[in-house]
């Protein structure tokens, strides 16, 4: 983190592209402004000494239980496609990707 972090418009634009969120230039400007305020709020974190500290993901010790390799069909293809915005037979339809 730099001394005064900011998310400029071009960074915001890059993030919107990565996240696939269409935004107008007005929205990007607003996003850059509020996100900069937000990351500045979080800036104090950079002062915490975290050397040698392992990141924590799951906060509680949970015993690892793996699944037995048993195949089971619990849903029909029709159920899995019941919410599809567009389908062809039992396949999901999307714009041409090539």
Residue 20 or 25: the one with the smaller Cβ distance to another protein is: 20
Give me the least distance between CB of 32 and another protein, in Å please.
Answer: 9
Give me the least distance between CB of 25 and another protein, in Å please.
Answer: 13
* Cα–Cα distance measured from residue 7 to residue 27, given in angstroms and rounded to the nearest whole number: 14
Give me the least distance between CB of 10 and another protein, in Å please.
Answer: 12
Give the count of beta carbons closer than 10 Å to the beta carbon of residue 31: 19
Residue 25 or 55: the one with the smaller Cβ distance to another protein is: 55
């Amino acid at each position: 983190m730099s001394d005064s972090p900011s998310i400029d418009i071009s960074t915001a634009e890059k993030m919107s592209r990565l996240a696939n969120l269409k935004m107008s230039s007005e929205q990007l400007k607003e996003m850059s402004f509020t996100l900069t305020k937000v990351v500045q709020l979080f800036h104090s974190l950079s002062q915490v000494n975290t050397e040698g500290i392992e990141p924590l993901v799951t906060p509680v010790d949970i015993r690892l239980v793996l699944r037995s390799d048993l195949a089971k069909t619990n849903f029909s293809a029709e159920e899995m496609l019941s919410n599809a915005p567009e389908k062809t037979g039992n396949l999901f339809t999307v714009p041409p990707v090539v």
